[in-house]
Amino acid sequence: MSGPLTGLRVVDLSRVLAGPSMTQIFADLGAEVIKIERPGKGDDTRHWGPPWLKDEDGNDTGEAGYYMSTNRGKYSLTLDVSKPEGAEIVRELVKDADFFVENFKVGGMAKLGLAYDDLKAINPQIIYLSITGFGQTGPDAPQPGYDYLIQARSGLMSVTGHEDGVPGAGPMRAGVATVDLQTGLMGGIGLLAALHHRHMTGKGQYIDLALLDTQIAGTANQGFNHLLSGKVPVRTGMWHPALAPYQPFDTADDQIIIAVGNDSQFANLCRIIGASELVEDERFSTNPARNKNRAVMEDLLTARLKTQKAAHWVDELTKTNVPASTINNIQQAMNDPQVTSRGMILELDHAIGKKTPGLATPLKFSDTGLEFKKAPPMLGEDTDDVLTRLLGKSEAEVAELKAKGVV
């Protein structure tokens, strides 16, 4: 089955993670994504290793796992957009494109003649997305922005890390680039919203998306609770500031997470571990009461949980719909039967002649499929194809562009 975005074309000048993660999803959904990269170097993340993709003889290919994780399904066109001929090829591609995505510094595209107004004059229906650290306006608009920087500035790190007051407490970054990934998802929502608007009006539009804006919105209940109460949220480490029990517990061997979301789940938990008397105890009968008396409750529950191993408790608790899990490392997560049964781990044929892994886009459609048909491309792998098939360039014209260092 063809993907739900089949027939749409993306001209993608984004690099690193936010833009590429989004356009990979679009490729999986069936869109044709033309990834434009600098000749000889390409996307910065091609060089962010180890690990590196190895060939069949075990030698490093120079293709970094970081790059490969967000560029599946795309067509790599090497193009020096700083040269007039290179910028002109971008404009040729835009004539028949639906989306244009870039994450250059503010004003960078205008210097190349590739700003929204420039491309709108060529294709009034183009939907143009700019991703920057701080947006197109405001005092810090010209500044570069990176995920780690935004995690710090947005307040995210202030509520992430060991509980305040314990050894090792302090701000901590998230283990994945959550700001970039959230921004990519917001970008995808924005493009599809603008596509609907175009269906209604026939007009494209410009979208200004900032990492900082995204993560400020992404503080969610923590940010809203501050605005509501005036109090500054603090780090609570492994336990939840509003739900209890919602934290790790020691067992006879390993820790498990128990995430109780309502009173009936708490009652089931107490029954399974042989502590039914706690259900009627006014200190624990409601979530607000449990939250107030969390430390005492933790000690009482831990005493029972330490009588059996983690696997036993996870099995027994999940049978009665009490959310519980072991704390997996990445390898364990990738081998989880639920994960593998959902088709989340991919294998694709790569240009070097071997299978390469991938993590699937998690959407499951009833009437359309996803298209995991093309491994992350080598740098410039599709240059000749894009220039000849899409733009009608002759072999002689392509050779001339190569001789001039344009592609």
pLDDT tens per residue, range 124-164: 999 999 999 999 999 999 999 999 999 999 999 999 999 99
Instruction: Assess whether pLDDT exceeds 80 at residue 1.
Output: no
Residues 344-362 pLDDT 10s: 999 999 999 999 999 999 9
Q: Where are the domains of the chain?
A: 9-218+340-403, 246-250+255-326
Strands (E) located in 69-226: 75-78, 99-102, 127-132, 206-210
**Residue the block writes with tokens 């509520």:** 159
**Mean pLDDT across the chain:** 96
Q: Tell me if 211 sits within 8 A of 181, measured CB to CB.
A: no
Task: Tell me, yes or no, if 180 is annotated catalytic.
Answer: yes
Of 12, 98, 180, 382, the catalytic one is: 180
> Does the structure show a pLDDT above 70 at 177?
yes
Per-residue confidence (pLDDT) for residue 268, from 0 to 100: 97
Please tell me the predicted confidence (pLDDT) of residue 239: 92
Q: Does the pLDDT at position 57 exceed 90? A: no
Per-residue pLDDT of 35-54, as tens digits, reads 999 999 999 999 999 999 99
- Specify the pLDDT at position 56: 87
- Quote the radius of gyration of the chain (alpha carbons, Å): 25
Domain with residues 246-250+255-326, CATH architecture: 2-Layer Sandwich (3.30)
**Residue-level pLDDT at 342:** 97
* 388 — pLDDT class (breaks 50, 70, 90): very high
Residues forming beta bridges with residue 35, ordered by sequence position: 12, 76
Residues in a beta bridge with 291: none
- pLDDT tens digits, one per residue of 263-300: 999 999 999 999 999 999 999 999 999 999 999 999 99
Cα 79 from Cα 324, distance rounded (Å):
51
On the question of pLDDT at 262 being above 90, the answer is yes
Q: Is the pLDDT at 252 greater than 70, yes or no?
A: yes
The string of pLDDT tens digits covering residues 161-174 is: 999 999 999 999 99
Cα–Cα distances (Å) from 1 to 8, 23, 366, in that order, read 16, 20, 11
Task: Indicate if the pLDDT at residue 324 is higher than 90.
Answer: yes
Strands (E), 115-197: 127-132
Report the side by side order of strands in the sheet with 255-259. 246-250, 255-259, 324-326
Assigned fold of 9-218+340-403: Rossmann fold (3.40.50)
Residue 355 exposed, middle or buried by CB count within 10 Å (0-12, 13-18, 19+): exposed
Determine what percent of the chain is predicted with pLDDT higher than 90.
Answer: 97
> Looking at residue 387, what DSSP letter applies?
I
Burial pattern 333-353, b for ≥16 Cβ within 10 A else e, equals: eeeeeebeeeebebebebeee
How many Å apart are CA 332 and CA 330, to the nearest integer? 5
Average the pLDDT over 384-400 and give the result: 97
**DSSP secondary structure letter of residue 376:** P
